Amino acid sequence: MDDISVIAALVEHKPGVLFKVSNLFRRRGFNIENITVGPIETSDLARMTITVKGDEATRDQVVKQLRKLIEVVHVEVLKPESLVQRELALIKVKVDSPETRREIMDYTSIFRGRVVDVSPESMIVEITGTPDKMDAFINLMLKYGIIEIARTGVTALTRGKASITTSYPLMLELGE
């Protein structure tokens, strides 16, 4: 029942907007899995990618409540069947022997990650991929001992020509 939905929102790139969005989720009792935000270079908007857990009714409410915020310009639920999702994580792993180091490097290369830092007792691995892939890699690392993880949360785009940034001006015309 509790599906994961990925929602993309274009918002005014101004101070306080992230607060209004996250506060909305808190107040309405919606469960955010994660939220990533970044400005759109070509405009004065920012894009939020929000992952929400819940049934269809919950997802609909999330979208509708988001649209009610004046600062939210456009909202779309990204189609799960054509979704490209990526997350980046930096994982600091304990290293106690050359064999361990070798193994971690092998796993990293299988997962197409990169070793970005090495010290006598630790390594930092950078890994990019779907949340599933990240979880799988992290599971493999557990036995070596994870010192620290920093995950960015999911960011996503739909495949093909469609883009919420180009469909937004169309929405505006409809609204006028």
Partner 1 sequence: MLVVMSGARALMEALKREKVKVVFGIPGGANLPIYDELLNHDVRHVLARHEQCAAHMADGYARASGWAGVCFATSGPGTTNLVTGIANAYMDSSPVIAVTGQVSRPFIGRDAFQETDAIGITAPITKHNIQPSKASEIPLAIRTAFYVATTGRPGPVLIDIPKDVQTEVEEVEFPEKVKIRGYTPYPPIDPQLVHQAVALIANSRKPVILAGGGVKYSNASKGLLELSETLMAPVATSFMGKGAFPEDHPLSIGIVGMHGNPVANKLVQEADLLIGVGFRFSDRTTGKVGEFCSDAKLIHIDIDEAEIGKNKRVDAAIVGDAGEALSMMLKQIREGGFKASEDWGRRLEEVKSQLQAEEEGEGGLKPPAVIKEMRRLLPRNAIVTTEVGQNQMWASLHFKAYMPRTFISSGGLGTMGFGFPAAIGAKVAVPEVPVVDIAGDGSFAMTENSLATSVAENIPVIVVILNNRMLGMVAQWQRLFYDRRYSAVKLDKPDFVKLAEAYGAQGLRPQSLEEFREAFKKALKCDVTTVIDVPIDPEEDVMPMIPPGGGLKDMIEVA
Instruction: Please identify, using beta-carbon distances, which residue of 111 and 168 lies nearer to partner 1.
Output: 168
Nearest to 149 by CA among 163, 130, 135: 135
Task: Judge contact between 120 and 93, C-beta under 8 A.
Answer: no
Query: What residues from 74 to 133 belong to the interface with partner 1 (CB under 8 A)?
Result: 74
Instruction: Please identify, using beta-carbon distances, which residue of 64 and 102 lies nearer to partner 1.
Output: 64
Distance CA 35, CA 156 (A): 11
Q: Which stretch binds partner 1 (CB under 8 A): 62-70, 84-92, 118-126, 148-156?
A: 62-70
64 makes contact with partner 1 (CB under 8 A): yes
Instruction: Give least dist CB 71 to partner 1, A.
Output: 6
First to last CA, the chain: 37
46: its two tokens: 């920012």
Rounded to whole angstroms, what are the CA distances from 42 to 8, 94, 148?
Answer: 17, 42, 35
Query: What residues from 17 to 46 belong to the interface with partner 1 (CB under 8 A)?
Result: 19-20, 23-24, 27
Task: Judge contact between 36 and 48, C-beta under 8 A.
Answer: yes
Q: What is the DSSP letter of 29?
A: T
Among 4, 34, 36, 61, interactor with partner 1 by CB under 8 A: 61
Among 1, 2, 57, 97, interactor with partner 1 by CB under 8 A: 57
Instruction: Please identify, using beta-carbon distances, which residue of 82 and 163 lies nearer to partner 1.
Output: 163
73 makes contact with partner 1 (CB under 8 A): yes
Instruction: Please identify, using beta-carbon distances, which residue of 67 and 79 lies nearer to partner 1.
Output: 67
